[in-house]
C-alpha cells in the first residue's frame, strides 16, 4: 500500500478510532490502551474468510500473542486491561488465508512509568500554544470503547470546575487559562473501573502568534556509495514558531518502519534508526533523525529510503536512493594490484602498507598533481574557502590575525592557486553582516576555522555555528579546523563540534609548521578541494618570514565592529 493511500485512510478513519500510524507509541502504565488497524483495509482481501494474528517480538523472533484476562484480541483491536511496563516492545498484526500471510501494520509500544507524585507524566503530554482573546476547545482523545464512559477534567492535578464533557470549551481565552489539563476517561469492565488519560499543556499568549511553519531541509537525493560501505542518511526538518511536540519525524524503508539503534555494536541491526536530535536556534528548532546502514548491500540500491516530516497530518516527504558511485583519489585497479602483490610477496606487502599509512597524504597529493584533478570545475562556487578567525581582541592574538591575513593567503593563494574569502579583506563594509556571512559561506567550498582559546569568546563564534549547521544539517560545506592555540575549556564550544571527524583538524606547531613542505601545509591541501596547481619553488617561499615583534601593529582595546 502506497504512503498516499495510507494517509487517505488516516483521514477517512479518524472519526472511527484512534489508530496510530507511527513508528513509536507512548502509553502510561496502569491505563487501558488498545492497538488497532483500519477496518477499511479488510477490503484488500475482498471480504473473503481470513485469519487475524497478533505478534510481539521476543529475542528477535515474532511470537504469537495468546489472549489472557488482561490482553484481549477483538478483530482489528488488541486491548490491554491495563498496560504494564512489560508490554513494551515491537508488535505486528497479520492477515492470513491459506498459505498467504500479509503483515498489515507494525508498531513499537513504549509503556512509560507513572509519576507517583503527579497526575501526569511530563513525557506524555502535547502542547498547544494559543493567542488570548480567541475561542478554543481542548479535546479528550477517544481512547475508550464506549462513548458513554464518564469524563473528569483536571487542571494542574486539581479537579477543574466539575467538567465532564469530552471537549473543554473556552469562549474567550485568557492568560490565566494557561496550565496543564488532564482528561481522565473512566471505563467499566466486568465490575471493575479502568481509566485512560490524555494530558495537554495549554499556553496562552497575549501577543498575536506568528504563523507556524514546518519545512523539510533538502530535497530528494541520490547518494553514490559502494557495497560493504557504511552510510548514514540524514533527515532534517525545520520548525518555526511552534513546539517540537507538534511534529513527528521518522524514516520508512519501502513503507516499513526500521528498527531502533541499540548503541551496542554487536547487537546493532544492519539498518536502524537513531534517536531524534534537536538543535534550537532562536525561535527555530532543527530536528534531525539519522538512518544508519551498517553494510550497504546490492538490494539496498533498489530501496526507497523515505523520510516523513509531519504535523497535523500534512506530511512533507524526502526520498533518498543509493547508487553505485565512482572511487575517488585512488583507482580500484591500483588497490587490487597492491593486494595481489601482498599475496605474492608478503614482505613487500607489509612495507607497502606501512608506506601507504605513513605517506597517505603525500600519495594523494601526488596522485592529484599527476592526474591534474579538478573538483572545483562546474560546481558554481566562487571561493575555495571562507576563513573565520578571531577578530575582536588584538592584544593577545596579533600573531593569529597575521596568520589569517598574511601567512595563510600567501601560501594557499600565491603558491597553490586557491582563492580565499577573508571577511576583513574581501567583503565591502556597509552590508548586512549576517546575510554577508551566510552568502559567502554558501559561495565557498570549504570553511576554514582558525580555532584558539580566545576564539570561543569572540563574536566570530557565530561563523562557527553557521558553518556547523551547513556541514552537519544541510551538508553543503565541509569544515577544516586549524587549532592555532591549544583549547583548555572545550565546554564553551558548540556540542555539535564533536560530530566532526578528527581527521579534519589540523594543528599549527609554530616554527615547525612554517615551511611549505611541512606536514601542516600538506594536510591542509589534502583537506582542500583538488585543484591543478603550479607550486612556486622560489627559495624565499620555502620558509615564511612572519615578521619581528617590532613590525606587528599595535592596537589598544577591542574592536567590537567585527562581523558576528
What are the beta bridge partners of residue 221? 320
Residue in 250, 106, 128, 258 with CA at minimum distance from that of residue 181? 128
What are residue 72's DSSP bridge partners?
Answer: 79
Same fold yes or no, 126-205 and 213-324: yes
Say if residues 478 and 501 touch (Cβ distance below 8 Å). Answer: no
| Among 217, 232, 220, 273, CA closest to 499 | 232
H or E element that contains 302: none
- The separation between CA 40 and the C-alpha centre of its own chain, rounded to angstroms, equals 35
Nearest to 92 by CA among 101, 83, 100: 101
Q: Which among 463, 474, 549, 556 is annotated as catalytic? A: 463
With cell 592584544, the residue in question is 395
Prediction pTM value = 0.39
Task: Please report, in tens digits, the pLDDT of each residue of the chain (564 residues total).
Answer: 343 343 333 334 433 445 655 656 888 999 988 888 765 444 444 445 778 899 999 888 999 999 999 999 887 888 999 999 999 999 998 888 777 888 888 888 999 998 888 888 888 888 898 988 889 999 887 665 566 788 899 999 999 988 888 889 998 999 999 999 999 988 888 889 998 888 999 999 886 555 567 788 888 888 888 888 888 898 888 887 655 556 788 899 888 889 888 888 778 888 999 888 888 776 778 889 999 998 898 888 888 899 988 876 678 888 898 888 765 555 666 777 877 777 777 776 677 777 777 788 888 888 888 888 888 787 888 888 888 876 654 445 577 778 888 888 999 888 888 999 887 777 766 554 566 677 888 888 888 888 776 665 555 566 666 667 766 666 667 888 888 877 666 555 666 666 666 667 888 888 888 888 888 998 888 988 888 765 554 444 444 554 434 344 333 333 323 332
| CB 214, CB 182: distance < 8 Å | no
For helices 332-344 and 346-358, the axis angle rounded to 10 degrees is 140
- Write the DSSP assignment of 496-551 as a string of letters: GGGGS-GGGEEE--GGGG-STTSHHHHHHHHHSPP--------HHHHS-----GGG
Are the C-beta atoms of residues 173 and 130 closer than 8 Å to each other? yes
| pLDDT value of position 430 | 55
Domain ranges of the chain: 3-112, 126-205, 213-324, 383-551
User: Distance between CA 552 and CA 562 in Å, rounded?
Assistant: 20
C-alpha cell at 130: 494559543
Of the candidates 374, 518, 364, 372, which has an alpha carbon nearest to the alpha carbon of residue 445?
A: 374
Backbone angles phi, psi at 255, to 5 degrees: 70, 20
Active site residue 266: no
Please identify which residue in the block is written with the cell numbers 523520510. Answer: 307
Q: For residue 183, which of 353, 28, 47 has the smallest C-alpha distance?
A: 28
Residue 558, strand partner residues: 393
| Domain 383-551 part of CATH 3.40.50.10140 | yes
**What nine digits make up the cell of 493?**
564550544
pLDDT of 200 reads 92
Angle at 297 between CA 291 and CA 298, to 5 degrees: 125
Class of 213-324 per CATH? mainly beta
Q: Mutual orientation of helices 461-472 and 433-442 as an angle, nearest 10°?
A: 40
Torsion angle of the four alpha carbons 440, 442, 445, 449, in this order, in degrees rounded to the nearest 10: 60
Task: State the pLDDT at residue 199.
Answer: 92
- Quote the CA–CA distance of 1 and 14 in Å, as a whole number: 19
Q: Rounded distance, CA 227 to CA 298, Å?
A: 6
Name the maximum alpha-carbon separation found in the chain.
97
Residue bearing cell 473543554: 168
The distance in angstroms from the start CA to the end CA of the chain is: 50
2.60.40.10, 1.10.630.10, 3.20.20.10, 3.40.50.720: CATH of 3-112: 2.60.40.10
* Ordered DSSP codes for 19-74: ---SS-EEEETTS-EEEE--GGGGGGGTT---EEEEEEEETTEEEEPPP-SSEEEE
Q: Hey, what CATH class is 126-205 in? A: mainly beta
Amino acid at each position: 500500500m502506497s504512503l498516499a493511500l495510507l494517509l487517505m485512510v488516516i483521514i477517512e478513519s479518524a472519526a472511527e478510532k484512534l489508530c496510530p500510524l507511527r513508528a513509536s507509541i507512548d502509553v502510561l502504565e496502569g491505563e487501558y490502551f488498545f492497538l488497532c488497524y483500519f477496518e477499511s483495509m479488510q477490503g484488500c482481501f475482498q471480504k473473503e474468510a481470513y485469519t487475524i494474528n497478533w505478534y510481539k517480538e521476543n529475542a528477535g523472533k515474532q511470537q504469537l500473542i495468546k489472549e489472557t484476562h488482561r490482553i484481549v484480541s477483538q478483530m482489528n483491536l488488541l486491548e490491554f486491561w491495563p498496560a504494564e511496563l512489560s508490554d513494551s516492545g515491537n508488535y505486528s498484526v497479520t492477515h492470513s488465508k491459506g498459505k498467504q500471510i500479509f503483515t498489515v501494520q507494525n508498531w513499537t509500544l513504549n509503556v512509560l512509568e507513572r509519576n507517583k507524585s503527579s497526575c501526569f507524566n511530563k513525557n506524555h503530554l502535547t502542547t498547544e500554544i494559543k493567542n488570548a482573546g480567541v475561542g478554543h476547545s481542548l479535546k479528550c482523545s477517544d481512547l475508550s470503547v464506549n462513548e458513554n464512559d464518564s469524563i473528569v477534567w483536571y487542571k494542574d492535578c486539581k479537579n477543574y470546575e466539575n467538567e465532564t464533557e469530552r471537549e473543554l470549551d473556552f469562549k474567550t481565552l485568557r492568560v490565566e487559562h494557561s496550565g496543564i489539563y488532564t482528561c481522565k476517561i473512566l471505563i467499566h469492565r466486568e465490575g471493575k473501573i479502568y481509566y485512560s488519560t490524555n494530558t495537554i499543556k495549554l499556553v496562552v499568549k497575549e501577543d498575536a502568534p506568528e504563523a507556524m511553519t514546518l519545512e523539510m531541509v533538502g530535497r530528494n537525493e541520490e547518494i553514490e556509495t559502494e557495497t560493504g560501505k557504511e552510510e548514514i542518511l540524514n533527515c532534517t526538518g525545520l520548525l518555526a514558531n511552534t513546539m517540537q511536540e507538534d511534529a513527528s519525524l521518522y524514516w520508512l524503508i519501502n513503507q516499513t518502519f526500521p528498527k531502533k539503534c541499540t548503541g551496542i555494536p554487536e547487537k546493532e541491526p544492519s539498518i536502524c534508526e537513531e534517536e531524534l536530535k534537536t538543535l534550537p536556534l532562536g525561535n527555530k528548532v532543527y530536528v534531525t533523525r539519522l538512518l544508519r546502514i551498517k553494510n550497504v548491500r546490492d538490494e539496498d540500491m533498489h530501496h526507497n529510503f523515505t523520510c516523513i516530516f509531519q504535523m497535523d497530518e500534512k506530511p512533507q516527504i524526502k526520498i533518498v536512493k543509493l547508487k553505485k558511485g565512482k572511487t575517488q583519489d585512488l583507482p580500484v585497479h591500483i588497490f587490487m594490484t597492491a593486494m595481489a602483490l601482498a599475496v605474492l610477496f608478503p614482505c613487500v606487502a607489509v612495507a607497502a602498507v606501512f608506506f601507504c599509512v605513513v605517506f597517505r597524504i603525500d600519495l594523494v597529493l601526488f596522485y592529484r598533481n599527476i592526474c591534474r584533478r579538478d573538483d572545483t570545475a562546474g560546481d558554481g562556487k566562487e571561493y575555495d574557502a571562507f576563513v573565520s578567525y578571531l577578530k575582536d581582541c588584538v592584544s593577545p592574538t596579533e600573531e593569529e590575525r597575521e596568520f589569517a591575513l598574511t601567512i595563510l593567503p600567501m601560501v594557499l593563494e600565491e603558491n597553490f592557486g586557491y582563492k580565499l574569502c577573508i571577511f576583513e579583506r574581501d567583503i565591502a563594509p556597509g552590508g548586512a553582516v549576517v546575510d554577508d556571512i551566510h552568502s559567502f559561506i554558501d559561495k565557498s567550498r570549504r570553511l576554514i576555522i582558525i580555532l584558539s582559546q580566545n576564539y570561543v569568546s569572540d563574536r566570530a563564534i557565530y561563523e562557527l555555528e553557521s558553518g556547523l549547521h551547513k556541514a552537519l544539517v544541510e551538508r553543503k560545506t565541509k569544515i577544516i579546523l586549524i587549532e592555532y592555540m591549544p583549547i583548555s575549556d572545550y565546554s564553551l564550544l558548540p556540542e555539535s563540534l564533536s560530530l566532526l571527524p578528527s581527521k579534519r583538524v589540523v594543528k599549527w606547531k609554530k616554527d615547525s609548521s612554517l615551511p611549505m613542505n611541512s606536514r601542516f601545509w600538506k594536510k591542509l591541501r589534502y583537506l582542500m578541494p583538488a585543484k591543478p596547481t603550479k607550486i612556486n619553488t622560489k627559495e624565499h617561499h620555502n620558509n615564511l618570514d612572519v615578521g619581528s615583534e617590532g613590525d606587528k601593529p599595535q592596537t589598544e582595546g577591542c574592536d567590537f565592529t567585527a562581523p558576528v
